[in-house]
Amino acid sequence: MAILFLSDAAAATAWADALANELPDEVIRVNTGPGDDGDVEFAVVWQPAKGRLARIPNLRAIFSLGAGVDHIFADSELPAHVPVFRLIDPVLTAQMAEYVVMNVLWHHRGMDQYAAHQAGRRWRQADLPRTARRRVGIMGLGVLGSAAAEALARFGFPLAGWTRTARDWPLGEAFHGRGGLRPFLAISDILVCLLPLTPETEGILDAGAFAALPSGAALINAARGGHVVEADLIDALDSGALGAATLDVFATEPLAQDHPFWAHPRVRVTPHVAAITYGDTTAREIALNIGRFRAGAPMSGLVDRARRY
């Protein structure tokens, strides 16, 4: 039996080679056509073409090359009977925690102001609150959100967390559901979005959400561009209701050359690099999961199809 690697990324062949190193006895194909699928058991994918997975007759499992699976569920012809697994990679998780901490500290310590002061040759100290008085709100407390929260807690930031359903959370004040969203936003001086993108969370950061935040709050979005209504974000920044935004993900990527985010004085843009997928560590985690699947052992990253995460 075989493993099919489906991705249009430039590094697809290198990633497939890394998987072959982990599974030397497996047949691994890269971006082959439907006529070669009869012996394919597993598909390892990033943004597969619509209907492509449905044409694999003996498919047993689908593995995402990233922590998100919205690119898989975007396929309206996705086989309903095949389990989907998101990537849980300790290296990717650590990178996300680093990115969040780096940008929370950037906003907390007023580095945007100091960058502007440097450009204007002004020696001026900003009046900033101490860490214990700056609450960080984290939307999404899965693997990535939990890691980011644990890292921030070590700096002494008070934390709040928002999730779709109720859960015990020892690191801060927990909110859940639509009823808990506005109270959560109201106390989040720095808002971090690490939600999965689902029909329920698409566009969740809109004009109403930005209005609910404390005046001058900062936004860090390292989840998916679809969470943010971009026009509403620009309006909130222009009005001063929102103080700043760090954005790693966008509704359309790459970001268009004429997009207003590039030149906006309150926006920092990074090109979807908060947590980078490395071939060797990704291959190791997927290989371990394939081994567990064949052994009938518990696996990591199984996606609930109803919730899409």
Which residues have a catalytic role annotated? 224, 272
Tokens representing 269? 């843009």
The CA-based angle 192-196-201, given to 5 degrees, is: 85
With CA atoms as reference, report the closest residue to 248 among 48, 7, 67. 67
Three-class HEC string of 46-109: ECCCCCCHHHCCCCCEEEECCCCCHHHHCCCCCCCCCCEECCCCHHHHHHHHHHHHHHHHHHHC
Q: For residue 214, what is the DSSP state? A: P
CB atoms within 10 A of CB 25: 5
**Residues 6+ away with beta carbon under 8 Å from 281:** 89, 90, 91, 92
183 CB burial (10 A radius; 0-12, 13-18, 19+) = middle
Span between the terminal Cα atoms of the chain, in Å: 28
- CA–CA gap between residue 58 and residue 36 (Å, rounded): 12
Instruction: Please identify which residue in the block is written with the tokens 């309006």.
Output: 235
CB atoms within 10 A of CB 38: 11
